[in-house]
Amino acid sequence: MTGEWVVERAVRADAPEILTLQLACWVREAVANDDLSIPPLHEDLGTVAESLAEWDTYVVRVAGRLVGSVRGRLDGDVWDIGRLMVAPDQRGRGLGRLLLEHAQAVAPAGAASYRLVTGKGSADNLRMYKKAGFGVREVLDGPSGPAVLTKRITRR
């Protein structure tokens, strides 16, 4: 199924669709973690648009519809991966894995490791990240954790 997916750099005009996707995806996370305080649920269009200047954000469209997104940015020598999102009707088809692989592939040369965060009760996310070689570094204090996962970058 990956043949139909093209990962492209997000542009500011994508912000409304990214916000819609974000809300659709984080409601599920809020339920899984019994936590309505998850920050993505409380952002507005302006915040999402501003984040496009602060993060390298990528999107996937199917028939013109934005169905997936992920972002990354360098923090010292750590490539932070965030907001990996797949539209609810597109889950289970490998798009999340494709986006995670893309986010890792675009890490700058100066990055020594990857870091991402998910809810401690987000079993599907944790399973996918662990399968991709990430390990839980710590679980922060709070209703949903969150769990911080890391992975060393090995360059060939």
Spell out where 41-125 has E strands.
Answer: 56-62, 65-75, 78-86, 113-118
Whether residue 2 is predicted with pLDDT greater than 80 in this model: the reply is: no
Cα 142–Cα 41–Cα 49 angle in degrees, nearest 5: 125
Whether residue 3 is predicted with pLDDT greater than 80 in this model: the reply is: no
Predicted TM-score (pTM) of this structure: 0.92
Phi-psi label, residue 32: left if phi above 0, alpha if psi -120 to 50, beta otherwise: alpha
Neighbours of 92 (CB within 10 A): 9
> 94: helix, coil or strand?
coil
All structural domains of the chain, each given as residue ranges with its CATH number in brackets, are 2-152 (3.40.630.30)
pLDDT band of residue 143 (cuts 50, 70, 90) is confident
